[in-house]
């Protein structure tokens, strides 16, 4: 029997956004999280609604918090668009075609109540989704299709959504990519 290594790795970055190494995902999120590469994605349905998800309670960072449709980390050498598709399928059971990067230079640092920090260069994507949402229980505990105006209102109350989404939503509105 062959054992498959399923440990996820993230791409570590320097201050200029250049790759400087990799690290196991389970080891990077703590009080002094190193800068690493992530992504966020906002999925739209045929009616122009945005999929809002609530992170599962077992998530290491921001458990139980409402946020964008899906997010994650590309693996070493993985094209980021492929990582977006992989995570949309893994987290939500959705297949997406062409994720479009609308905020390529988005970067954030946020600290959760327990002291765990996020520290990412996090390009933001928008994509169309088709089919029923079938969330993975260890990733998503709840979800809703919402109108863009509802999501914009949530960003006005930053305690109601993840810190990265609270910053991304007004920027997305400014690009005209959503809404």
Annotated catalytic residues are 71, 120
Q: How far apart are CA 173 and CA 169, in angstroms?
A: 6
The annotation status of 36 as a binding-site residue, yes or no, is yes
What does DSSP say about strands 95-96 and 36-37: parallel, antiparallel, or unpaired? unpaired
Phi, then psi, of 25 in degrees rounded to 5: -55, -40
The annotation status of 109 as a binding-site residue, yes or no, is no
Which string of DSSP letters, residue by residue, matches 54-83? EE-TT-SSSTT-EESSEEE-PPTT--HHHH
Q: How far apart are CA 67 and CA 52, in angstroms?
A: 6
Secondary structure tally for the chain: helices H, strands E = 4, 13
The annotation status of 120 as a binding-site residue, yes or no, is yes
Q: How far apart are CA 156 and CA 138, in angstroms?
A: 28
Classify residue 63 as exposed, middle or buried by CB count within 10 Å of its CB (0-12, 13-18, 19+): middle
The annotation status of 7 as a binding-site residue, yes or no, is no
The annotation status of 89 as a binding-site residue, yes or no, is no
* Residues that constitute the known binding site: 29, 36, 73, 91, 118, 120
* Residues that constitute the known binding site for Mg(2+): 91
* Residues that constitute the known binding site for Mn(2+): 29, 36, 73, 118, 120
């Amino acid at each position: 029997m062959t054992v498959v290594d399923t440990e996820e790795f993230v791409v570590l970055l320097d201050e200029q956004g250049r790759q400087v190494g990799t690290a196991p995902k389970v080891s990077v999120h703590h009080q002094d999280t190193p800068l690493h590469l992530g992504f966020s994605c906002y999925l739209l349905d045929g009616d122009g609604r945005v999929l809002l998800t609530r992170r599962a309670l077992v998530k290491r960072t921001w458990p139980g918090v409402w946020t964008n449709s899906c997010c994650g980390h590309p693996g070493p050498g993985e094209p980021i668009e492929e990582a977006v598709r992989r995570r949309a399928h893994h987290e939500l059971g959705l297949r997406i075609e062409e994720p479009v990067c609308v905020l390529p230079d988005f970067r954030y640092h946020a600290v959760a109540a327990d002291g765990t920090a996020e520290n990412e260069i996090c390009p933001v994507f928008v994509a169309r989704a088709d089919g029923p949402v079938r969330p993975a229980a260890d990733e998503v505990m709840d979800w809703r299709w919402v109108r863009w105006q509802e999501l914009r209102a949530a960003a006005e109350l930053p305690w109601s959504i993840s810190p990265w989404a609270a910053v991304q939503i007004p920027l997305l509105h400014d690009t005209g990519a959503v809404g």
